[in-house]
């Protein structure tokens, strides 16, 4: 009997280790593993543990971009509160998916800003205790004291009301999931994405006159302005290539076991007849 139990335990361990080896691709590991990067005294990046987050601290106030979810959001909250001390904190959600908004409720008393989803749409994705206090409809600038935050609504891309956040003094752009570094973009029909806008938004900011030295994606490692071109090309290929050619060109990408595969993306494009040649 003891041998049976021992073999059962070993079998479970073997299966678990196999799953970790096969399924945790570099992109999935980057989603789970937390990496904290301090960029000078003003900015801290919290990459992974769900959606990427960023803390910007000015002389008078602070801003947190995206709050993660579950236990990850609690770890982030502990770090943020320790860093900002008594400074006023504002939360910005780049979009309404829960891996970016799940920790909102932890910041009691803080203003929470997001794109113009409206309450009914927000609650399709989130709990009521995560609701923003302000829907951002036009470009908005926050002065934190010595450093400013530009909140830029980019409309329907990854979701129906995405936001970018730009920090001109640091030449940093936060894109949310409109750009995720070296992973498949997640195309979720219920979030009302717009593929043509998505491609055009990436091109627009890649060609922007804004000085952008650092791009903070929704998922994955820190990137550069040039990486936005690569992501735009992905959508161009989705729109223009046949399924067979697409699979051949992106064979390695196709095998990534991330949130959404390129096959699912292709099916979405076919069903919605976007730029179908």
Separation CA 107–CA 120 (nearest Å): 22
**Cα gap 85→45, rounded to integer Å:** 18
Which has more pLDDT, 109 or 12?
Answer: 109
18 vs 166, residue with greater confidence: 166
Kindly state the tokens that stand for 17: 């280790």
Where residue 231 falls among pLDDT bands split at 50, 70, 90?
confident
Q: For residue 166, which phi and psi values (nearest 5 degrees)?
A: -120, 135
Neighbouring C-beta atoms of residue 187, cutoff 10 Å: 22
The pLDDT, as a whole number, for residue 213 is: 95
Query: Is the model's pLDDT at 259 over the cut of 50?
Result: no
Helix (H, G, I), strand (E, B) or coil at 238: helix
Q: Give the pLDDT band of residue 20 (cuts 50, 70, 90).
A: very low
Can you tell me whether residue 222 is helix, strand or coil?
coil
pLDDT in the model for residue 277: 40
Q: Summarize pLDDT for 44-61 with one digit per residue, the tens.
A: 999 999 999 999 999 999
The percentage of residues in the chain with a pLDDT greater than 70, rounded to a whole number, is: 74
Name the burial class of residue 29, with classes exposed (0-12), middle (13-18) and buried (19+) by CB atoms within 10 angstroms of its CB: exposed
Give 162-214 pLDDT, tens digit per residue: 999 999 999 999 999 999 987 778 888 889 998 889 999 999 999 999 999 99
Among 29-33, 106-110, 148-152, 209-213, name the one with the lowest average pLDDT.
29-33
pLDDT value at 122 more than 80: yes
Task: Name the pTM for this structure.
Answer: 0.82
Average pLDDT value over all residues in the chain: 83
User: 219 vs 7, 29, 33, 70, 82, CA distance in Å?
Assistant: 39, 11, 11, 17, 24
Structural domains of the chain ordered from first start: 26-239 (3.60.15.10)
How far apart are the two ends of the chain, measured CA to CA in Å? 65
The average pLDDT across 245-270 equals: 52
Closest CA to 171 of 136, 231, 222: 222
CB 228 within 8 A of CB 200: no
Tokens 């979030």 map to which residue?
A: 191
Going by pLDDT thresholds of 50, 70 and 90, the confidence category of residue 13 is very low
pLDDT confidence tier of residue 83, bands split at 50, 70 and 90: very high
Name the strand (E) or helix (H) holding 186. Answer: none
Pairing mode, if any, of strands 134-136 and 140-143?
unpaired
Whether pLDDT at 266 is above 90: no
Query: CA torsion 125→177→198→189, rounded to 10°?
Result: -30
């Amino acid at each position: 009997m003891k041998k049976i139990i021992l073999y059962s335990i070993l079998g479970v361990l073997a299966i678990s280790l196999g799953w970790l080896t096969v399924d945790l691709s570099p992109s999935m590991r980057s989603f789970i593993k937390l990496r904290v990067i301090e960029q000078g005294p003003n900015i801290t990046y919290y990459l992974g543990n769900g959606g990427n987050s960023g803390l910007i601290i000015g002389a008078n106030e602070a801003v947190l971009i995206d709050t993660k979810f579950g236990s990850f959001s609690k770890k982030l909250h502990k770090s943020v509160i320790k860093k900002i001390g008594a400074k006023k904190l504002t939360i910005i959600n780049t979009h309404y998916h829960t891996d970016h908004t799940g920790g909102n409720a932890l910041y009691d008393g803080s203003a929470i800003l997001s794109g113009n989803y409206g309450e009914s749409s927000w609650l399709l994705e989130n709990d009521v205790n995560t609701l923003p206090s302000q829907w951002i409809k036009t470009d908005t600038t926050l002065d934190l004291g010595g450093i400013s935050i530009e909140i830029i609504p980019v409309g329907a891309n990854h979701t129906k009301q995405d936001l970018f956040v730009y920090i001109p003094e640091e030449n940093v752009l936060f894109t949310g999931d409109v750009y995720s570094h070296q992973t498949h973009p997640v195309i979720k029909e219920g979030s009302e994405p717009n593929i043509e806008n998505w491609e055009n938004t990436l091109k627009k900011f890649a060609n922007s006159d804004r000085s952008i030295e650092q791009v903070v994606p929704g998922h994955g490692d820190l990137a550069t302005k040039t990486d936005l071109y690569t992501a735009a090309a992905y959508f161009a290929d989705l729109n223009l290539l046949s399924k067979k050619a697409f699979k051949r060109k992106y064979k390695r990408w196709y095998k990534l076991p991330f949130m959404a595969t390129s096959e699912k993306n292709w099916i979405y494009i076919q069903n919605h007849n976007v730029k179908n040649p």
